[in-house]
Structures are given as C-alpha cells and as structure tokens.
Amino acid sequence: MGKFITQEGLKKIKEEMEQRKTTLRQKIANAIKEAKEQGDLSENAEYSEAKSQQAENEARIVELEVLLKESTVVSFDKDSNVVQMGSRVKVKYDGSEMEFQIVGSNEAKPSDMKISNESPMGKGFMGRQKGDEVEIEIPLGKVKYKIIEVK
C-alpha cells in the first residue's frame, strides 16, 4: 500500500533527489578521485569515508525513488472547511491553543507541528470541522481538543 503525500512533500523529495543525484554525487566522486591519487587505498581513511558516503547517498536515492513511485499526491482543497491532508488545524485544549498541519507519514515532523494523517491525532482531526470537539487517545491518556480554525 502506498503512502499519501502533500504537494509540498512531493516538491521536497524531488529537490532532495535532484541535489543527491547531481551536486552530492559529483562531490563524492571528486573525493574518491582525490583519495585514489594519494596512492595506497588499504590504509586510506579519506577513500574509505568517501566510498561509505557514496553508498549512503545511493541508498537514499533509491529510497526516494521508491517513495515517489509508491506515494499518492493528495490535492488540498483550500476552500473546504473540513480537515484534510495539508490542512492547518488550530485547536484549543486545557486553555492552550496549538496549530498543527496534517501531512503524510513520511513528512511528519512533530517538532515543526507537522503531524501524520496516520497518527492518533491526525486520524482524530481528519474529516472534522471548526467547532468540533475531538477526544483523542494519546500515550498520556485521553485528551479533548476543540477545533477553532481550519485553513
């Protein structure tokens, strides 16, 4: 089963892949070339490090290609007042206000308030509207959120 991804997430994956296939590949190739010119490769730390970076870079490129192939880009209807992928949801709980963005699981970054549509909170907010109260089971117990804005 494929993953869902926002248009913004798709753009970031394509940018990272392009950078890895061009700039980074060239930089690593140059480092390998320079290390080879130093002679004996058996005790050449620079050569080993560059080969390791090369393997990592190529593995990440394959990972990104698979992600692109298996991901479904979801469109964001900015005129909708229903929480969907890409929505920014402002909620109130315990007198505090927070704003989250609902994104695909591979784009999730809780520290940036980007939560996955597959997370308990993401699932709880999806399809809801301004004014809805949502009770979500989190590791600390049940928390009640009131949706005060969807954009």
Q: What is the pLDDT of residues 95-117, one digit of tens each?
A: 899 999 999 888 899 899 999 99
| pLDDT digits 0-9 by tens, 8-35 | 888 999 999 999 999 999 999 999 999 8
Q: Are 28 and 53 part of one and the same domain?
A: yes
Q: Are 57 and 20 part of one and the same domain?
A: yes
Rg (CA), the chain: 22
43-47, 81-85, 126-130: lowest mean pLDDT where? 43-47
Specify the number of domains making up the chain.
2
Return d(Cα 52, Cα 63) in angstroms, integer.
Answer: 17
Answer with the one of 31, 48, 73 that is the final residue of a domain: 73
Q: How many residues does the chain have?
A: 151
Q: State mean pLDDT over 116-143.
A: 91
| pLDDT digits 0-9 by tens, 58-75 | 999 999 999 888 888 887
* CA–CA distances in Å: residue 23 to residues 16, 33, 46, 81, 104: 10, 15, 19, 42, 27
Q: First and final CA of the chain: distance in angstroms?
A: 28
Could you tell me if residue 79 is inside a domain? Answer: no
pLDDT exceeds 60 at position 1:
no
Q: Are 7 and 38 part of one and the same domain?
A: yes
pLDDT exceeds 80 at position 85:
yes
Edge-to-edge strand list for the sheet holding 114-116: 114-116, 96-103, 88-93, 141-150, 133-138
Could you tell me if residue 80 is inside a domain? Answer: no
Q: What is the mean pLDDT of the chain?
A: 90
Q: What pLDDT is stored for residue 2 in this prediction?
A: 63
State the residue range of the domain holding 27.
3-73
Q: Are 92 and 67 part of one and the same domain?
A: no
Could you tell me if residue 141 is inside a domain? Answer: yes
Answer with the one of 73, 102, 127 that is the final residue of a domain: 73
pLDDT exceeds 80 at position 125:
yes
Residues 6 or more apart in contact with residue 82 via CB below 8 angstroms: 127, 128, 129, 150
Indicate which CATH number applies to the domain containing 47. 1.10.287.180
pTM, to two decimals: 0.66
Closest CA to 58 of 36, 87, 29, 80: 29
